Amino acid sequence: MSQLLVEYPLTRPPICDNPLARGADGVLRYGNLTPALTELLDLRVHAFANREAVVEIGGPRLTYRQLWHSASRIAGGLQEHGIGFGDRVAIHMPAGVRWVQAFLGALLSGAVPVLVHDGLPTEVAERVIADSNTDFVLGSGAGGGEPVLPDGAAFIDDGAALGDLALLCYTSGGRVPMGVELTNENLLSAIRSVVAALDLPTDGLRNLVLLPLAHASGCVDQLLPTFAVGGTVVLAPDSRGLAQMLVAERIDMVSATPRIFGRLLPKLAASRTDGLGAESISRISNAGHRAERSCSPPELAAALRDAFPAARQWSVWGATETSGIGLVVDDVYAAADTVLGFPFGGTELALWGPRAGAGQGELLCRGPNVTHRYWNDPKSTADRFTGSWFHTGDQVTIAADGLVRRGTGH
């Protein structure tokens, strides 16, 4: 039986704060993005210079001005090592303030950061670094000690454009990670979409990010949107003293995967006196595929509601190829076992397969956040893309109102 691609037009108004226009390739695009991610961040540095940008529990705390200055010196040090526009710089170190400095330093040098999770087996990390043709590695020091970062005269390369490659992020699923090319437009569109969908405020959001920064869900969907609204990213090396941390750091948003939340909630319940820190949490962002859940969605939603009764919950679905975003639901739908969400931002949906016309099949998506290709892998690109449509590999149903559910029946 022949395959069939059926588009499912948006039936709900897109969640965004400005109009989207359809390009010549059929993809919806934001019309007023800055030319590059570095320019957006530069604007925020000037607007929020004295606000805390990033805090590492038990480690450094940097304002936006301090973070930008230190990153520009790392960029200068990279330039002295011959690194420039389009070169690949691997970030291979534990999440923390120095990770953020290294990531921004690579960006400011004009290079393309390559995210390499520090928890990968050595042979896999080496394969990623080799596959990306990395020109320089920002990693841990000898014996796994404190990372030694380049240092030079402050430097900022501000010549990037929307269509330029801005980030190489490797897939976490499958036996062999594949490099996903994300452009400035992909990243800026994802940031704009997340800020609007999660209604992030500009009055000093303090986001405890427990997602891995080396994944799109942590870097693109939490770190960068928090910076985009002048908020503070709080990073914790472990979960010890979580309840006290929520109070001491005035946390009002917590971002993690279902698996991380499932692991943390019992610890929080056991270590917290009633109400300690819970009243300050107004947002919960729960990111990741349903397969990552350590308990069922209804159980997790109920546990989060018990732990943070004043918080609104969002569950975000995405893939590395979609910059980590694509579908979202809030408390009303989050407890349903099979629900993935509604499309948001400029994401559009289609189904692929013999029953696509009946609302069942493989989920395809396209949008300004979706990559056009894999790095140095034309075969995988041909296999996973039909025109501008990305094949997610997920079998789903799409209801008349646009709600996507996993599986082939309601």
pLDDT for residue 199 is more than 80: yes
How is residue 171 written in tokens?
């897939």
What was the pLDDT predicted at 144?
59
Judge whether 214 lies within some domain.
Answer: yes
Judge whether 234 lies within some domain.
Answer: yes
What was the pLDDT predicted at 240?
80
C-alpha span between 207 and 84 (Å, rounded): 32
Antiparallel, parallel or unpaired: β 283-287 and 312-318: parallel
Judge whether 15 lies within some domain.
Answer: yes
Q: Which residue, 223, 204, 227, 124, is CA-closest to 171? A: 124
Q: How many domains does the chain have?
A: 1
CATH code: domain of residue 205: 3.40.50.12780
Judge whether 47 lies within some domain.
Answer: no
- The owner of tokens 């109070």 is 247
Judge whether 38 lies within some domain.
Answer: no
Judge whether 230 lies within some domain.
Answer: yes
Question: Each residue of 352-390: pLDDT tens digit?
Answer: 999 999 999 999 999 999 999 999 999 999 999 999 999
Judge whether 382 lies within some domain.
Answer: yes
Q: Is the whole model's pTM more than 0.85, yes or no?
A: yes
Mean pLDDT of 190-206: 95
Question: Each residue of 35-48: pLDDT tens digit?
Answer: 999 999 999 999 99
What was the pLDDT predicted at 96?
95
In sequence order, the 6+-apart residues with CB closer than 8 A to the CB of 291 are none
Contacts 24+ apart (CB under 8 A), 193-196: 193/15, 193/16, 193/325, 193/344, 193/345, 193/346, 193/347, 193/369, 194/221, 194/222, 194/225, 194/316, 194/325, 194/345, 195/17, 195/225, 195/228, 195/229, 196/15, 196/16, 196/17, 196/344, 196/345
Tell me which residue range forms the domain holding 390.
1-33+184-410
Judge whether 154 lies within some domain.
Answer: no
pLDDT for residue 172 is more than 50: yes
